[in-house]
Structure 1
Amino acid sequence: MSKVRDFIDSGILNEYCLGLLQPEEVLEVERMARLYPEVQKAIDQLLVSIKPSDLQQDIANKGLKGQILETLGQLGEPPVFDLQCLPLINVYSDSEQWQRTLAGLSPAPEFRNLYVYPLRNHDGVEQFILWARHEIRPERHHDEHESFLILEGECECRIGGETVRLKAGDFVRIPLKVEHTVRVVSPEPVKAVVQRVKL
């Protein structure tokens, strides 16, 4: 059991909950959570304790990410993703790479408020593109972690008692069991990759 305790105490779960891990690290944390209930319990406790202001700090840190991506951009654009094998989104996700990957997909021309295009729904992971013109009603998730990466437009996301403004390139992870809603503030619809990972 000391291996599990060392894993929990390593700080990796904090980074997981804030969306700071690389995709392979995310998979390892999720594997450990499936194998060891105490790891899942620690994740659930951390997600409940995360304040929306912690998420805002993640967004502020994207300035460095932008500088790094700009430097890497001089090396050439990353290839588009394979739609049959999409990566999980996280704070390091490249919204422009996602935009290029999804460039051929568009909503029905006359959708009213929301339009959803499924991308993936297997192995406990659901991903879809969401276009929203006005708002998304309040919701909360008890058995899945939700996050999203904004590709186009701007919105205000009310998470618990705090409001976070998001624009293209921003990533947010919604804490477990916290009510959240989205209001579009740009003239054009918001386009986002939404991801839900079952516990």
Structure 2
Amino acid sequence: MSTIYNFIESGILELYVMGITSPQETQEVEQMAAAHPEVKAEIDQISRAVEAYAQEHAIAPRETVKPLVLATIDYLQRLAKGEPAVDPPMLAKNSKLETYAPWLNRADLTLSEEEEEDIFVKIIGHTPKTTTAIVWIKDMSDYEVHHDEYERFLIVEGTCDMIAGEHLYKLKPGDFFEVPLHTQHMIKVTSKVPCKAVLQRVAV
């Protein structure tokens, strides 16, 4: 058998494509690929096969992941520019919208008309136990379940249906709702305007 055939069959090309070859092995593969078209062709074929496998078995992230990541980046940038870190009041059944007026009335904590995402988030406070944010939902959220944190809502604008377990709750401005632990839930907006709420997640 030829040296090139043995090299291709050794398994090193698969390791190279996955990025787990040593610097010396990487250099050897790249030198062989530059000198032998059949090695380069085999690398390309393995790369396509790995990409196809990854796409076939990919798990789409929940719809809330991107908005929360962007909100975290925005919040950290605001803190870096001098915004003081605060711990907004805990949400409860007797919570009033005016309690959160210092954040709800801020010009920089609004939903842009150009915003295309179905869910938009602005964090207003964070501690190791609690994250508080203003959230806008245009249509609906994905189903999710929380096992280690309570999720609480105080509706600010718009209306929505909260589906939690087998129950449906119709929420309007001023309404408070706490999602029970271990309960699958989602929100479906029922108003023409996005449903805006103060959202709080509290670790158990």
TM bucket by the smaller chain? 0.5 to 0.7
Of residues 121-130 and 99-108 in structure 1, the stretch that sits farther from structure 2 once superposed is 99-108
1:128 corresponds to: 133
Deviation by residue 1:47-95 (Cα, 9 ceiling, x = unmatched)? xxxxxxxxxxxxxxxxxxxxxxxxxxxxxxxxxxx97231111111111
Q: Secondary structure at the match of 2:100?
A: helix
**Which amino acid in structure 1 is aligned with residue 110 of structure 2?**
S
2:183 corresponds to: 178
1:87 corresponds to: 89
CA contact (8 A) 1:108 1:115 kept: no
2:105 corresponds to: 103
**Which amino acid in structure 2 is aligned with residue 109 of structure 1?**
E
Structure 1 distance, partners of 2:130, 2:102, is: 22
Structure number with higher strand proportion: 1
Deviation by residue 1:123-168 (Cα, 9 ceiling, x = unmatched)? 3101111001100110110111111100110000001011100000
TM-score by length of 1: 0.56
Deviation by residue 1:81-113 (Cα, 9 ceiling, x = unmatched)? x97231111111111332454212202322231
Q: Answer 1 or 2: higher relative contact order, Cα 8 Å, separation at least 6.
A: 1
The partner residue of 2:173 within 158, 168, 172 is: 168
| Number of positions where the alignment pairs a residue of Structure 1 with one of Structure 2 | 118
1:193 aligns with 2:198: yes
User: Per the alignment, do residues 100 and 152 of structure 1 end up closer, same or farther by CA in structure 2, a change over 3 Å counting?
Assistant: farther
- How far has the Cα of 1:116 moved from its partner? 0.3
Q: Secondary structure at the match of 1:135?
A: coil
Q: Secondary structure at the match of 2:98?
A: helix
1:140 aligns with 2:142: no
**Unaligned 5+ residue runs, structure 1?**
1-81
Structure 2 distance, partners of 1:89, 1:131, is: 17
Q: Secondary structure at the match of 1:172?
A: strand
Residues 60-75 of structure 1: matches in 2 within 5 Å? none
Which protein is bigger by CA-based radius of gyration? Answer: 2
Question: Once the two structures are aligned, what percentage of the paired residues are identical?
Answer: 33
CA contact (8 A) 1:160 1:179 kept: yes
Structure 2 distance, partners of 1:197, 1:127, is: 9
CA contact (8 A) 2:103 2:124 kept: no
Structure 2 distance, partners of 1:83, 1:157, is: 31
2:123 corresponds to: 118
